[in-house]
């Protein structure tokens, strides 16, 4: 049977989709290639969020298709993920020779595409995500078109939703993701995700529960529930929390109810997280759930994007810096030792030195544990793409570096506070830098490097005394 390899770009949702896709391919009889060079089938799971990410995937695809002339004549090359949706059929002009292209949530149909591609077919296109259940019939999601020809429908109404995880090989890692909310309705001015991932759709809690159970059965101990704007879970039109699922904790909002349900029903999952957050979703009830449900980790990724109220307004983020800081205050008061991380965009159109300085100030006041900084990249079809991209690349780079230097100092201070304390660490495996040591994570999602005790296994919960801190890493001794 043919072997496959999947190359993943982009966010955690793509990581999860790749994982689920690998399981589907194994169930269809394909095997994991030892490396990409020897695979019969190479899939590129792509991201469209910045131009760079697209360039990388296109470069990779071009190289793979070219390798058919250098000793790999039968190589199947498939594109999946967000870029597939953005480029649609146009991708075959950009990447001649591509075997197929399939959008996010087209997962269930991919094994059939791989089989046909192995038989020599090229240029197949399987769109996704499907339109919403409430938006009328799924006109495009259940059939592929190969230059005009329809093939048999890969999914039927009775089948599991396209992204539900089928049974799998044992999980090699103690952490895993489960998508609870597809798509995004927020339409921040700069962002292409709503175009490529479709409209918001919350999954049924019972379906999510089954998927978390399946992960736990594979040895997963840390589950992160995913949504682009995860606090919108269950808040969209048409969703109703099932009447027969009670809330002993008295929660009334869907996300706290879901956290409570999963924590109660799947005790093997020692740690529960959810991402990405939004300041308007930080309700008193959610803060209470984070404090009172022991499995829920004291950690939140809360993208701020900018500290300038003017830029935030232009970005259509729905909050100003005061509202953002208020969410941070609620979290810090309500959840002891919480770690808060963020995303920032530098060089949004019209971002002045003053706007940028505001971002530095607000980041300092928020006291982030970590920050991911991105240089603004205009995305075709988004509202801000109509504005002039007037901050030079050199200036974007400078602002990026300034924020990273600020964050390094801040991260060092945040991590210094852990020195001398004993923390619970979920062991992951040998450290990337030094294989004689192991690394794991705290509930705050901080990486801890330690000397492994005898017979340590991935997924063990260890008590580690922290002895030293770097901006991104803690070092400790198992006690
Ligand atoms: N759904 C998440 C973010 C998904 S994209 C959220 O809203 O929190 C991850 C990050 O990429 C965003 O938080 C943002 O900081 C960055 N990003 C999105 N679009 C971008 C663009 N056009 N240019 C640069 N960075 C962008
Ligand atoms: Fe993009 Fe905004 Fe949705 Fe996040 S919330 S995915 S930044 S549109
Ligand atoms: Fe990229 Fe798609 Fe995620 S555009 S950031 S892989 S949702």
How is the chain split into domains, by residue range?
3-126, 170-416, 422-478
* Position 413 confidence tier, pLDDT thresholds 50, 70, 90: very high
Average of per-residue pLDDT across 457-474? 97
Tell me if the bond preceding 276 is cis, omega within 30° of 0.
yes
Q: Which of these ranges, 168-172, 204-208, 244-248, has the smallest mean pLDDT? A: 168-172
Asked if the model's pLDDT at residue 323 lies above 80, the reply is: yes
Q: What length does the chain have?
A: 479
| Residue 147: per-residue pLDDT | 31
By most ligand atoms within 8 Å of CB, the mutation choice from 9, 15, 21, 47 for ligand 3 is 47
Average of per-residue pLDDT across 324-344? 98
CB distance 344 to ligand 2 below 6 Å: no
| Residue 238: per-residue pLDDT | 84
Give the distance (Å) from ligand 2 centre to CA of residue 301.
Answer: 13
Ligand of minimum distance to the alpha carbon of 190: 1
- What's the whole-number average pLDDT of the chain? 91
**CA-CA distance, 100 to 58, in Å (whole number)?**
14
Domain 422-478 indexed as CATH 2.40.50.140: yes
Asked if the model's pLDDT at residue 128 lies above 80, the reply is: no
Query: What would the pLDDT profile of 57-68 be if each residue is shown by its tens digit?
Result: 999 999 999 999
Helix boundaries (H) for 192-275: 193-197, 205-217, 254-265
Ligand of minimum distance to the alpha carbon of 47: 3
Ligand 3 nearest atom to the CA of residue 9, by list position = 6
By most ligand atoms within 8 Å of CB, the mutation choice from 85, 185, 189, 229 for ligand 2 is 229
Asked if the model's pLDDT at residue 138 lies above 70, the reply is: no
* Position 137 confidence tier, pLDDT thresholds 50, 70, 90: very low
Give the distance (Å) from ligand 1 centre to CA of residue 272.
Answer: 23
Instruction: State both tokens at 227.
Output: 């949504």
Ligand of minimum distance to the alpha carbon of 377: 1
**CA-CA distance, 175 to 363, in Å (whole number)?**
29
407-425 per-residue burial string, b: 16 or more CB within 10 A, e: under 16: beebbeebbeebeeeebeb
- The residue contributing the CA closest to ligand 2 atom 4 is 228
What are all long-range contacts of 185-189, with beta carbons under 8 Å and residues at least 24 apart?
A: 185/229, 185/232, 185/236, 186/228, 186/229, 186/232, 186/278, 186/316, 186/318, 187/316, 187/383, 188/305, 188/315, 188/316, 188/317, 189/314, 189/315, 189/316, 189/382, 189/383, 189/384
* Position 143 confidence tier, pLDDT thresholds 50, 70, 90: very low
* Position 144 confidence tier, pLDDT thresholds 50, 70, 90: very low
Give the distance (Å) from ligand 3 centre to CA of residue 279.
Answer: 21
Burial of 337 (0-12, 13-18, 19+ CB in 10 A): middle
Asked if the model's pLDDT at residue 411 lies above 90, the reply is: yes
**CA-CA distance, 330 to 287, in Å (whole number)?**
7
Give the distance (Å) from ligand 2 centre to CA of residue 127.
Answer: 21
| Residue 305: per-residue pLDDT | 98
Query: What would the pLDDT profile of 89-122 be if each residue is shown by its tens digit?
Result: 999 999 999 999 999 988 889 999 999 999 999 9
Tell me if the bond preceding 29 is cis, omega within 30° of 0.
no
Asked if the model's pLDDT at residue 152 lies above 60, the reply is: no
| Residue 168: per-residue pLDDT | 52
Average of per-residue pLDDT across 186-206? 96
Asked if the model's pLDDT at residue 396 lies above 80, the reply is: yes
Domain 3-126 indexed as CATH 3.40.50.12160: yes
| Residue 173: per-residue pLDDT | 87
SS3 state at 279: helix
Asked if the model's pLDDT at residue 134 lies above 80, the reply is: no
Evaluate whether 74 touches 117 at the Cβ level (below 8 Å). no
Ligand 2 nearest atom to the CA of residue 197, by list position = 6
| Residue 241: per-residue pLDDT | 95
Query: What would the pLDDT profile of 5-28 be if each residue is shown by its tens digit?
Result: 999 999 999 999 999 999 999 999
Give the distance (Å) from ligand 2 centre to CA of residue 228.
Answer: 6
Query: What would the pLDDT profile of 218-243 be if each residue is shown by its tens digit?
Result: 999 999 999 999 999 999 878 999 99
Asked if the model's pLDDT at residue 161 lies above 80, the reply is: no
CATH number of 170-416: 3.80.30.20
Ligand 1 nearest atom to the CA of residue 227, by list position = 1
Asked if the model's pLDDT at residue 145 lies above 70, the reply is: no
For the CA atoms of 446, 458, 175, 208, the dihedral, rounded to the nearest 10 degrees, stands at -140
Who lines ligand 3 at CB under 6 A?
10-11, 13-14, 47-49, 81-82, 193, 196-197
Ligand of minimum distance to the alpha carbon of 52: 1
Asked if the model's pLDDT at residue 132 lies above 50, the reply is: no
Asked if the model's pLDDT at residue 166 lies above 60, the reply is: no
| Residue 331: per-residue pLDDT | 98
| Residue 154: per-residue pLDDT | 31
Query: What would the pLDDT profile of 256-301 be if each residue is shown by its tens digit?
Result: 999 999 999 999 999 999 999 999 999 999 999 999 999 999 999 9
Asked if the model's pLDDT at residue 164 lies above 80, the reply is: no
Residue among 133, 191, 185 at smallest CA distance from 162 = 133
């Amino acid at each position: 049977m043919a072997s496959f390899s999947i190359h993943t770009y982009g966010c955690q949702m793509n990581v999860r989709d790749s994982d689920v896709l690998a399981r589907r391919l194994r169930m269809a009889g394909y095997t994991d290639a030892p490396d990409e060079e020897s695979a019969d089938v190479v899939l590129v799971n792509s991201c469209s969020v910045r131009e760079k990410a697209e360039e990388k995937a296109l470069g990779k695809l071009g190289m793979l298709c070219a390798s058919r002339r250098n000793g790999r004549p039968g190589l199947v090359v498939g594109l999946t993920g967000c870029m597939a949706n953005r480029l649609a059929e146009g991708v075959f002009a950009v990447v001649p020779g591509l075997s197929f292209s399939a959008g996010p949530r087209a997962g269930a149909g991919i094994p059939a595409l791989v089989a046909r591609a192995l038989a020599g077919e090229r240029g197949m296109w399987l769109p996704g995500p499907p339109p919403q259940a409430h938006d009328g019939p799924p006109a495009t999601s259940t059939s592929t078109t190969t230059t005009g020809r329809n093939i048999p429908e890969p999914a039927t109404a009775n089948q599991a939703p396209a992204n539900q995880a089928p049974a799998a090989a044992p999980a090699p890692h103690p952490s895993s993701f489960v998508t609870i909310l597809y798509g995004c309705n927020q339409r921040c001015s700069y962002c292409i995700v709503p175009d490529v991932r479709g409209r918001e759709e919350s999954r049924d809690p019972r379906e999510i529960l089954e998927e978390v159970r399946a992960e736990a059965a594979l040895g997963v101990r840390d589950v992160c529930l995913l949504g682009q704007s995860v606090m919108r879970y269950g808040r969209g039109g048409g969703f109703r929390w099932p009447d027969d699922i009670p809330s002993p904790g008295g929660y009334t909002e869907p996300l706290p109810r879901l956290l409570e349900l999963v924590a109660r029903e799947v005790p093997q999952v020692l740690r529960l997280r959810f991402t990405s957050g939004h300041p308007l979703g930080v309700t008193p009830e959610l803060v209470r759930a984070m404090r009172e449900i022991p499995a829920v980790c004291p950690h939140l990724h809360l993208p701020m994007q900018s500290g300038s109220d003017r830029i935030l307004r232009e970005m259509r983020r729905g909050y100003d810096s005061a509202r953002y800081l208020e969410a941070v205050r609620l979290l810090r008061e309500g959840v002891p030792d919480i770690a808060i991380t963020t995303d920032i965009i530098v060089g949004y159109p019209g971002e002045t030195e003053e706007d940028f300085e505001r971002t530095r100030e607000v980041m300092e006041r928020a006291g982030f544990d970590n920050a991911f900084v991105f240089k603004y990249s205009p995305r075709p079809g988004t509202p801000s793409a109509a504005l002039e991209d007037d901050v030079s690349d050199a200036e974007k780079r400078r602002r990026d570096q300034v924020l990273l230097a600020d964050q390094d100092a801040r991260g060092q201070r945040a991590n210094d506070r852990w020195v001398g304390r004993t923390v619970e660490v979920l062991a992951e495996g040998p450290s990337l830098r030094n294989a004689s040591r192991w690394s794991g994570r705290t509930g705050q999602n901080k990486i801890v490097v330690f000397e492994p005790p005898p017979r340590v296994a991935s997924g063990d919960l260890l008590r580690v005394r922290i002895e030293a801190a770097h901006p991104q890493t803690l070092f400790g001794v198992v006690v």
